[in-house]
Amino acid sequence: MGSAASFSWLPASTRSATASIRWKHLRGSGLAEPLSAFKTEPLEPSTRMALTAQMLTSDAVFAGSIPQLYDEYMVPLIFEVYADDLVKRAVGRNPTRVLELAAGTGVVTRRLASAITAPIIATDLNPGMLERAAAVGTSRPVEWRQADAMKLPFDDSSFDLVLCQFGAMFFPDKGKAFAETRRVLRPGGTFLFNVWDRIEENEFANAVLQALNPLFPTNKLTFMARTPHGYFDHAQISKDLRDGGFSNPATIDTVTARSRAASARVPALALCQGTPMRAELESRGASLSAMTDHATAAIAARFGEGPVEGKIQGFVVTVSA
């Protein structure tokens, strides 16, 4: 069984949060004894250093209050509709053992746990996101586990389905991450993931970026366009999959949906404070409340003062091992 001691190289606040995860999950799942809801493995010093650097300096950092805001605002705003789509596709594969990468706060995991009976291991790089996911809980026990997608702690040919919702864009070396996915997939298994289209095809995110960037003429905000909405080229995705060892051609489907919120404030708050764009704003000395107000006004001016609705678009990639 993993323990908080495995995280001795992380900040004390993170170690403390990790230690509480299994109890929060168990309270939500109704289990009577402390099975390991969130497992960790001892890491080599070089891996510890690399993972720490990645978490502290890359676009993949979801820490502090971001996991809660992300789950409360971003998930219903843009992620739930794509989670439903991804789970429907996963169920059609009749999996017997499932690995989820970049599970975040568990929007796909919760739906998948209710839709299939196969064992599920849900992983993420960020302990804060897993803590939130485990605290919310699932309809049946799943295994929550911190893992780096570029160095998965699983044996070869361990799963017949690997899925990942809007996480591949954050992999620093996509070919390496895909090679790890290919390694842990059984022959004939399926890798199922989705990514966002360019930011111009996602109206709320684009509106916020257009509203805020003029405030920073010499140091523009780049996170949203660079990372969440920066991995949309089909040829590049196919090449990265081939580099990762997938010899079968990938199917890439365009999925267009509508993002809805009760007011313009919701997408403004979600994007400015519930994503790593928050760190971009804070690094520029900007007031989060002022930036959120400015984004709210911009969304209201374009989409209306009451309930708002905007286009979102992404791609679903399916490839067989």
Question: What distance in Å separates the CA atoms of residue 107 and residue 105, rounded to the nearest whole number?
Answer: 6
Q: Which residues contact 306 (CB under 8 A, 6 or more apart)?
A: 263
Give me the pLDDT at residue 124, please. 97
Q: DSSP string covering 199-212, please?
A: GGGSHHHHHHHHHH
- Which parts of the chain fold into alpha helices (H)? 12-19, 21-29, 45-57, 66-69, 80-91, 107-115, 127-136, 174-184, 203-212, 223-226, 234-243, 265-273, 277-283, 288-303
Residue 318, H or E segment: strand 308-320
Contact 252, 315 (CB under 8 A): yes
Q: Which residues contact 264 (CB under 8 A, 6 or more apart)?
A: 296, 297, 299, 300, 303, 304, 305, 308
pLDDT tens, residue order, the chain (321 aa): 232 223 332 333 333 333 333 323 333 333 222 223 444 444 444 434 443 344 334 455 555 667 888 899 999 999 999 999 999 999 999 999 999 999 999 999 999 999 999 999 999 999 999 999 999 999 999 999 999 999 999 999 999 999 999 999 999 999 999 999 999 999 999 999 999 999 999 999 999 999 999 999 999 999 999 999 999 999 999 999 999 999 999 999 999 999 999 999 999 999 999 998 999 999 999 999 999 999 999 999 999 999 999 999 999 999 999
Question: Among 96, 87, 89, which Cα is nearest to 119's?
Answer: 96
The pTM (predicted TM-score) of the whole model is 0.81
CATH superfamily of 4-320: Vaccinia Virus protein VP39 (3.40.50.150)
Q: Across-strand partners of 251?
A: 318
Give me the pLDDT at residue 112, please. 98
The residue extents of the domains of the chain are 4-320
User: 């949906």: which residue's tokens?
Assistant: 257
